[in-house]
Amino acid sequence: MDALYNSMYYVGAGALILIGLYMVLVKANLIKIMLGISFMDTGLHVLLIAIGYVRGRTAPILSQALLEAGEGPPAVVDPVPQALVLTAIVIGVGVLALGLSIAVKVYEHYGTLDAGRIKGLKW
Partner 1 sequence: MVIAPLLIVIPLAAAFLIPLLEFVSSKAGKYVPPLALLANVVLSAVLIPQVLAAPIVVSIGGWKPPICINLTVGPLGILLAALISLVSFLTAVYAVGYIKQGPTGRYHMLFLLLVAGATGVVLTGDIFNLFVFFEILCISSYALTAYNRNKEGTEAAFKYLVQGTIGSTLILIAIAFVYGLFGTLNMADIASRISSAEPTHLFFILALFIAGFGVEAAIFPLNAWLPDAHSSAPSSISAILSGIAIKAGVYAIARTTYTLFDTSGLTIIVSVVGLATLMIGEISAYRQRDDIKRMLAYSSIGHIGLIVFALGIGTYAGVFGSLFQLVNHAIAKAVLFLVVGYMILRVGSKKLSAFEGLGRQMPLSSLAFAIAIFSLVGLPPFAGFMSKLSIVYAAVETKQLLLLVFVAIVLLATVIEAGYFFRLIQTLYFRQGVSERRIGEAPLSALIPVVVLTLSILVIGLCPQLITPLLRGGAEELLNRADYIRHVLGPL
Partner 2 sequence: MRRASALVLLLVLAAGLAVVLAKIPFGQDKIGVGNHYIEKGVTETGATNIVTSVVVSYRGFDTLGEVTVLFAAALGVTTLLFVERPQERKKREPASLIVATGSRLLFPLIILFGIYIFLHGHLTPGGGFQGGAVIASGFLLLYLARPGQTMRRKNLSAAESLGGLVFVVVGLLGIVFSGYFLQNFLPKGHPNLLLSAGIIPLVYIAIGVKVGSELGRIIGDLVERD
| Chain positions contacting partner 1, by CB under 8 A | 17, 21, 24, 30, 33, 37, 40-41, 44, 47-48, 51, 80-81, 84, 87-88, 91, 94-95, 98-99, 102-103, 105-106, 109-110, 118, 120-121
Q: How far apart are CA 28 and CA 11, in angstroms?
A: 27
Interactions with partner 2, residue window 42-101 (CB under 8 A): 50-55, 59-64, 67, 73-74, 76, 78-80, 82-83, 86-87, 89-91, 93-95, 97-98, 100-101
Q: How far apart are CA 18 and CA 22, in angstroms?
A: 6
Q: How far apart are CA 77 and CA 71, in angstroms?
A: 17
Alpha-carbon Rg for the chain in angstroms: 21
Query: Binds 118, which of partner 2, partner 1, none (CB < 5 to 8 A, cut-off by type)?
Result: partner 1
- Helix, strand or coil for residue 53? coil
